[in-house]
Amino acid sequence: MVGMATTTRRTERRTDALSRARIVEAAIEILDADGESALTFRALAARLATGSGAIYWHVANKSELLAAATDDVVARALGGAASEADPEQEVRTLALRIFDAIDAHPWVGSQLAREPLQLAMQQILEAIGQRLESFGTPDRALFDAASALTNYIVGVAGQNAANARLHVHDEGRTAFLEQVATRWTDLDAEQHPFLSKVAPQLADHDDREQFLAGVDLILAGIRTPH
């Protein structure tokens, strides 16, 4: 972007030199440790023992930094896609990899939901699309199918991130779910028949399992000729 000389040389000055990679790495550490709100240029500068100005020489702005961090995590999550016998099973494990990555780095969820056709989204779409190829779906439907799966994944990701943001770090999560479940139970059964009915399921459901159930639903739909 900026910097990265027009002249060709690229001699590592100090070994501890600042670099885009080191900055992104530090950003990820901060995000993982203390959440999205903790990532400020001041904090980043402090952690890298430098000033914010120096960081701006390597990175255009905060949103680019976040995008880079996201791409990084997503790439790692998708890396080394072990192929399995069943292509459908491949899609499932792929989806779970992404789910787990986002579970481990909730801020990635927000970011995916925020940026449009960015690198990270592209990687996911490509990975899923590739696996879907072998389903024998007609080309046009293929694009729709891959998009649907990707959008579903991103949707879940966003919700997970929102939850994580709410209960930074802990398992007040369980308490929160119970609280919502109670709220649903207390709803007027006339006005909200569905929610009051499923309330008990909410309390003990497993996010990961439910996510996978959704993936299976979509896969089943893709298989169906419609």
Partner DNA sequence: GCACCACTGGAATCACGTTCCAAGCGCGCG
Partner DNA sequence: CGCGCGCTTGGAACGTGATTCCAGTGGTGC
Residues near its own copies, by CB under 8 A: 110, 113-117, 121-122, 125-126, 129-130, 132-133, 139-148, 150-159, 162-163, 166, 180, 184, 192-195, 197-198, 201-202, 205, 210, 213-214, 216-224, 226
Which residue's entry shows tokens 């709410």?
166
From the number of C-beta atoms within 10 Å of its C-beta (0-12, 13-18, 19+), residue 85 rates as: exposed
Residues 6-45 that bind DNA (CB under 7 A): 6-7, 9-11, 13-14, 17-18, 39-42, 45
> Does 117 contact DNA by CB under 7 A?
no
Half-sphere exposure of 78 (CA within 13 A, CB side): 19
> Does 61 contact DNA by CB under 7 A?
yes
Give how far Cα 169 sits from Cα of 28, 155, 166, 199, Å.
Answer: 15, 21, 9, 25
> Does 168 contact DNA by CB under 7 A?
no
Q: How many CB atoms lie within 10 A of CB 35?
A: 16
Question: What tokens appear for 77 in the block?
Answer: 């999550």
Q: In the bound complex, what is the minimum distance in angstroms from residue 194's beta carbon to its own copies?
A: 3
Query: Quick one: what does residue 171 bind among its own copies, DNA, none, with the CB cut-off 5 to 8 Å set by partner type?
Result: none
Query: Quick one: what does residue 85 bind among its own copies, DNA, none, with the CB cut-off 5 to 8 Å set by partner type?
Result: none
Helix axes 207-223, 139-166, angle to 10 degrees: 170
Query: Quick one: what does residue 7 bind among its own copies, DNA, none, with the CB cut-off 5 to 8 Å set by partner type?
Result: DNA
